[in-house]
A and B are shown apart, each in its own frame.
Chain A
Amino acid sequence: MEPTDMEKDAAREILVYFFGIHAESWPINDRVIDKIGEMLLKERQCAKVMDALPRPGTVDKGYIKRQLRNIARRLAGGGHSYDVCRTAIKYGWERVVYLASQGL
Chain B
Amino acid sequence: MARMRGFAGRMAAALLAAACLLTNTWAGEASRCEHPACLKTARHQPYVEPELSGLRTVEIDGFAVKVPPAARQIKLSGRTLYLIYRDGAVLALGTATSPPVTGGAPTSITAAQLPEIVFLHSATDQEPRAEADRALWRFAINLKPYFFEGADVAFVTQHGKTRYFLSNSTAQGFSGRALVTKEGISHSYLQIDAKNMDFRRFVSIVLSTR
Q: Do A and B bind each other?
A: yes
Does B108 touch A at the CB level, under 8 Å? no
Say which residue of A20, A44, A90, A99 sits within 8 Å of B92 (CB atoms). Answer: A99
Does A76 touch B at the CB level, under 8 Å? no
| Cross-chain contact B143 with A92 (CB below 8 angstroms) | yes
B33 — nearest CB in chain A belongs to which residue?
A44
Say which residue of A22, A44, A87, A88 sits within 8 Å of B77 (CB atoms). Answer: A22
Chain B neighbourhood of A98, CB < 8 A: 77, 80, 82
Is chain A's interface secondary structure helix, strand, loop, or mixed overall? Answer: helix
Q: How far is the CB of B34 from chain A (nearest CB, A)?
A: 8
Q: Which of B77-113 contact A (CB under 8 A)?
A: 77-78, 80, 82, 84, 90, 92, 96, 99-101
| Cross-chain contact A92 with B146 (CB below 8 angstroms) | yes
| Cross-chain contact A87 with B173 (CB below 8 angstroms) | no
| Cross-chain contact B99 with A91 (CB below 8 angstroms) | yes
Q: How far is the CB of A45 from chain B (nearest CB, A)?
A: 5
Give how many B residues have a beta carbon under 8 Å from the other chain's beta carbons.
30
Give how many A residues have a beta carbon under 8 Å from the other chain's beta carbons.
25
Say which residue of B27, B99, B174 sits within 8 Å of A80 (CB atoms). Answer: B27
| Cross-chain contact B26 with A80 (CB below 8 angstroms) | yes
| Cross-chain contact B30 with A84 (CB below 8 angstroms) | yes
| Cross-chain contact A83 with B84 (CB below 8 angstroms) | no
Does A95 touch B at the CB level, under 8 Å? yes
> A96-B173, A104-B84 given as contacts; is B90 within 8 A of A84 (CB)?
no
| Cross-chain contact B78 with A19 (CB below 8 angstroms) | yes
> A95-B92, A95-B193, A104-B90 given as contacts; is B78 within 8 A of A88 (CB)?
no
Chain B neighbourhood of A87, CB < 8 A: 27, 99-101, 139
Residue contacts A-B, CB under 8 angstroms, 12 given: A19-B78, A20-B78, A22-B77, A22-B78, A45-B30, A80-B26, A84-B28, A88-B142, A91-B96, A95-B80, A96-B173, A102-B75
